[in-house]
Amino acid sequence: MILKTNVLLLMAFLLLACSEQGPPKVFTDDANVAAQVEDLLAQMTLEEKVGQMNQYNGFYDVTGPAPSEGDAKNKYEHLKKGWVGSMLNVSGAAQVREMQRIAVEETRLGIPLIFGLDVIHGHKTLAPIPLAESASWDLEAIEKSARVAAIEASARGINWTFAPMVDISRDARWGRVMEGAGEDPYLGAQIGVARIKGFQGDDLSAHNTIAACAKHFAGYGFAEAGRDYNTVDVGTSTLYNVIFPPFKAAVEHDVKTVMNAFNILNGIPATANAWLQRDILKQKWGFKGYVISDWGSGFEMIAHGYAKDLEQVAELSANAGSDMDMESYAYVKHLADLVRAGKVEEAKIDEAVRRILTVKFELGLFDDPYRYCDAQREKELIYHDDHKAAVLDMARKSIVLLKNEGELLPLSKSQKRIALIGALADDNNSPLGSWRIGSDDNTAVSVRDGLKAYSAQVEYAKGADVVTGETAFAVPLNINNNDRSGFAEAVRLARKSEVVVMVLGEHGFHSGEGRSRVNIGLPGVQQDLLEAVYKVNKNIVLVLMNGRPLALPWADKHIPAIVEAWQLGTMTGHAVADVLFGAYNPSGKLTMSFPRHVGQCPIYYNHYNTGRPTGGNGVFWSHYTDESNDPLYPFGYGLSYTTFSYDKLQVQVEPGNKVTVSVEVTNSGERAGEEVTQLYLHDKVASVARPVKELKGFKKYRLEPGETKTLTFELTPTELGFYDNEGEFIVEPGAFSLMVGTNSQEGLWADFNW
């Protein structure tokens, strides 16, 4: 009661202070927070402590009557008893305020709830899907995009996002590649950190910053055969050098929470994995925040064959360091009894609660539990023009030009008769992607609308639907595999046009969670449509809209211009039009390899060599007899409307200290443009074999036509070393080579000894 009175008094004071000076700036002095957490902990019953470790999904419309039966009634009663520490999927200033009011005013201690939501690439105003954003290689823009997301989400009551997903993945079959930053741990770590900075800002207690969550710890991106939720079985070298680095970087940059994962990792479910959560994350890396389970991942341990019932789930998860349970009901039902039975030490509960309360204090929720529920801010900030400008900038930067033969692009405004074909061209829903949970359907600018701003000469024909029937986050898609009735009109239009822009690819709900695919070409009848149009007009610009790498060897061989436009969010159409008409010179580079054939998956540039890497025309070397080993488009690849040439690679070694690398890059074309120069390293002989190449530096910069720039990179032991199979970071002297260039396959090489 004492605490609750304090909170109310403080709130009254802050309201007064606020009216004069805007939102209050509050304390988060560490010692102060720690003391307050201890004080509160000492007042809590065992059940109240366990309550802090329990997270429920939103269960009723708080602006309506209180639930009177079933599961919702149960949850409601738990909420009023203080047995709930957090809610997810409740948003909107009014809704969150009312839910928070119950926690603060109707429970014994009045501990505020923390409200989590999947704010993945924006909340209302949507930025490109994360995989697309990563193709920008622009950390500043990515940070800003996360900032915009935090501003909008925090105005709607949200103070915690389940992002960034920092899972490295190499398999285009896995639908969740759309949510990550691709296949490279070095880039992935930096992008994860940029997102965390954007969400959390410099001051977590400010009313427009929210706690971030690095997920899914660990290995979720390595689901066997790219099938979501599948088994993960990886060796220590991959764990330490590929899977862990983005999580470690997130911890080093003070990410407030980490989510564990659905998968088993080498036989142990991540949620019950004490080695992952206690030994590595909390002890070795010194993670100070708390771990949230994934949705029901505790409960799923029964299906994994690791726990016999929910009680054992609670015991295993709590002992392993999973601090908060999302929707398994395991803790709320069993944890207090398990403590009383001596199966879980109360000290472990205290530790988890301390972590959770600390984040709540840092967010300022004890100063003002309604800090994030300001209806006025909500009204002013949602879909704000500044946010639209930021996501448009991000969208342009995310586009990757894959092919431009004969310089079909950019289109000229004076171009007569442009045919626009494809259902996705006229779609203002698909560009929002699948993780648009807080946003509103059909709010993207379609490509068709975007092109209108440039040319009145655009005529449209759908050609064919990609999907039919209902489409939604949780509904399986119904692909159009038969209906070609619109082909004739599309072909007629193409025949009389100078140039054809075809927007083909995946529906917005084709990728994302639970959306694995084995056919990663163009879904449905779209390939047939493309070939039918090609027969009458070869001047095709293929604009791809998709959430994962696609395998499109036919298109690569025949279509002169290909633009990878992903799902670019709210401002999609304008960004695509700006690139097609040359107002923006594309600068994106792929962060996942695009295979030639799905059978190559997983395919990634930073693979190991084999003992038989080459063999000419012979049989007994590591290859496919019916397909090349190479990807269709490699990691780091992307063209521009200008060209860049590389010269004068120089390497200077200061043994034991650093290696300095310099190179000259010239804009050898006729337009200004941005290049992303990439540095790759190969450790030729090591005590644990190293990949053929690893990204260890990159720079993005702009050059005017004819301009030359000298770039300098420094490699220190951090870049030159690696983790051995015991997880120790080691730096070994010896022979290395490095490549500096425009993508992971083209560049200048040099050897050196370290």
**Known catalytic residues?**
294
Nearest CB to ligand BGC, comparing residues 180 and 410: 180
Residue pair 259/276 in contact (Cβ under 8 Å)? The answer is: no
Contacts of 474 (CB under 8 A, 6+ apart): none
Residue 115 found at the interface with ligand BGC (CB under 6 A) = no
| Least distance between ligand BGC and beta carbon 99 (Å) | 17
Site for ligand BGC in 237-296 (CB under 6 A): 294-295
Residue pair 207/377 in contact (Cβ under 8 Å)? The answer is: yes
Residue 325 found at the interface with ligand BGC (CB under 6 A) = no
| Least distance between ligand BGC and beta carbon 57 (Å) | 8
Specify the DSSP class assigned to residue 677.
E
Residue pair 673/690 in contact (Cβ under 8 Å)? The answer is: no
196/435 Cα distance (integer angstroms): 18
| Least distance between ligand BGC and beta carbon 67 (Å) | 21
| Least distance between ligand BGC and beta carbon 135 (Å) | 21
Q: Is 251 exposed, middle or buried (0-12, 13-18, 19+ CB in 10 A)?
A: buried
540/417 Cα distance (integer angstroms): 13
Backbone torsions φ then ψ of 12, nearest 5 degrees: -60, -45
- Per-residue HEC secondary structure of 634-645 comes to CCCCCECCCCEE
Q: Helix, strand or coil for residue 578?
A: helix
Nearest CB to ligand BGC, comparing residues 162 and 637: 162
Number of shown-chain residues binding ligand BGC (CB under 6 A):
7
377/55 Cα distance (integer angstroms): 27
701/716 Cα distance (integer angstroms): 23
Q: Which residue is nearest to ligand BGC (CB)?
A: 162
Contacts of 473 (CB under 8 A, 6+ apart): 434, 437, 509, 512
Nearest CB to ligand BGC, comparing residues 88 and 563: 88
Site for ligand BGC in 62-91 (CB under 6 A): 88
What is the residue whose two structure tokens read 């295993």? 316
Residue 118 found at the interface with ligand BGC (CB under 6 A) = yes
Nearest CB to ligand BGC, comparing residues 145 and 260: 260
Where does 559-687 show beta strands of DSSP type E?
Answer: 561-564, 644-654, 658-667, 673-683
Residue 162 found at the interface with ligand BGC (CB under 6 A) = yes
Nearest CB to ligand BGC, comparing residues 294 and 465: 294
Among 195, 197, 215, 397, binds ligand BGC (CB under 6 A): 215
747/738 Cα distance (integer angstroms): 9
What is the residue whose two structure tokens read 């990728």? 511
Pattern 701-720, ligand BGC, x by CB under 6 A: --------------------
Residue 513 found at the interface with ligand BGC (CB under 6 A) = yes
Where does 145-263 show beta strands of DSSP type E?
Answer: 160-161, 213-217, 257-260
What is the residue whose two structure tokens read 């490279």? 184
Contacts of 270 (CB under 8 A, 6+ apart): 216, 217, 218, 219, 220, 260, 261, 262, 263, 264, 276, 297
Nearest CB to ligand BGC, comparing residues 118 and 325: 118
Nearest CB to ligand BGC, comparing residues 300 and 315: 300
CA dihedral angle for residue 566, residue 184, residue 228, residue 275, rounded to 10 degrees: -150
What is the residue whose two structure tokens read 């560490």? 30
Nearest CB to ligand BGC, comparing residues 118 and 465: 118
Residue 299 found at the interface with ligand BGC (CB under 6 A) = no
What is the residue whose two structure tokens read 């639908």? 175
Residue pair 394/474 in contact (Cβ under 8 Å)? The answer is: no
Nearest CB to ligand BGC, comparing residues 295 and 680: 295
Nearest CB to ligand BGC, comparing residues 247 and 635: 247
548/533 Cα distance (integer angstroms): 25
| Least distance between ligand BGC and beta carbon 328 (Å) | 12
| Least distance between ligand BGC and beta carbon 344 (Å) | 25
Residue pair 345/351 in contact (Cβ under 8 Å)? The answer is: no
| Least distance between ligand BGC and beta carbon 115 (Å) | 13
Q: Which candidate, 376, 363, 369, places its Cα nearest to that of 93? A: 376
Residues that bind ligand BGC (CB under 6 A): 88, 118, 162, 215, 294-295, 513
